[in-house]
Amino acid sequence: MVIESKTVKAAARAEYIKFATLFLGVLVSLPLGPRAARCAPAEVPRALREAWLRFHETELCQGVDAVFSLRKDTMEVWCLVEDEKSYGKFLELIEPLRASYTVAVYVTRLNPEKKSPEDKDPPPSLWNNTEIREYLQDPFQRNSGSAGGFTVRPPPGEHDTEFFLKQRIMMFAEQTLEWERKMNRYAGDLPELAEAAFGSSAEPALSSRAAAACLAHAQGVEKLAERLADNLARALPKAGKRSRASEEPPSARRPAPPVENAIQLANGAHSIARRIYNFIHPQNHTVGLVDLREPSLLESLRSLRRMVGDFQRSASRVGDAKGP
């Protein structure tokens, strides 16, 4: 059974952020992983648990934001479809289960936002950003500073340099928001995967696969956090040298169980994702000074990468303790 939601309003990206916030709240507040069904893992058929795990192993979770509820002989899934190809593969994944189990999928799609004339222009926060304009070599500020070796040339026959600059800034914004979304999604799935891999009720037959999916998601968070930091450094005022004295070495930080680290990582990534969105699309076209200073957004991304390292080390300790 697939139920399509027809009551969703035409939603802009801001509405999606609200939806994602609710989703993360559900994931963190409920018992994690298969236990979200309020049912002991042993009571959930293995085929249902494997389907949930396969959904994450194949990274269909990047195109379909989903919350699973697994019970005895029943699977319910609430999902927000962002990529139709991923959704099609997800339906193929669960189709064989329908012969033996009750499977219900509740689907929501965000209706395309109606474009206005203003949508052809980059976000004002970036268009008025001196750093990003210089980085992209704004022809009107070409002599005002270094562009870091980045050369922008209009395509053949294109003489409207301002139009071309707008296109590059819009590409910058779209790329940054896409990386932010992916990073947030990887991190948001970590708590339930960590519970399935390292939790007290983890099933030995599936825990090693869940652990591998965990580490793959964590690596995705780390890689995207690095890319975002590189991108945002182009759009933030230059700061002085950062002091490393305040950074605790990994050995000095309190070791925590993988599930606890995963929840902290998910919360940190969600907060950063919200701040990145607000940086590009600020309310009232303003950005709080706290988001423009070091240490703030860039330092938070560095801190998130340290959280990934903490999670990987804690997962390794648990894996070593379990043995082969």
**272-320 pLDDT tens trace:** 999 999 889 887 655 555 555 545 789 999 999 999 999 999 999 876 5
**244-278 pLDDT tens trace:** 544 555 555 667 899 999 999 999 999 999 999 98
Q: What's the pLDDT band for 321 if we cut at 50, 70, 90? A: low
The pLDDT of 53-72, averaged and rounded, is 95
The pLDDT of 186-214, averaged and rounded, is 93
The pLDDT of 24-39, averaged and rounded, is 39
How far apart (Å, rounded) are the C-alpha atoms in residues 121 and 45?
52
DSSP classification of residue 61: G
Question: What CA dihedral angle connects 172, 178, 180 and 185, to 10 degrees?
Answer: -170
Q: Can you give the residue ranges of every domain in the chain?
A: 1-111, 118-241+251-324
- Per the omega criterion (within 30 degrees of 0), is the bond before 257 cis? no
| pLDDT at 195 exceeding the cut of 80 | yes
Query: Where is pLDDT greater, at 267 or 140?
Result: 267
| pLDDT at 95 exceeding the cut of 50 | yes
| pLDDT at 74 exceeding the cut of 50 | yes
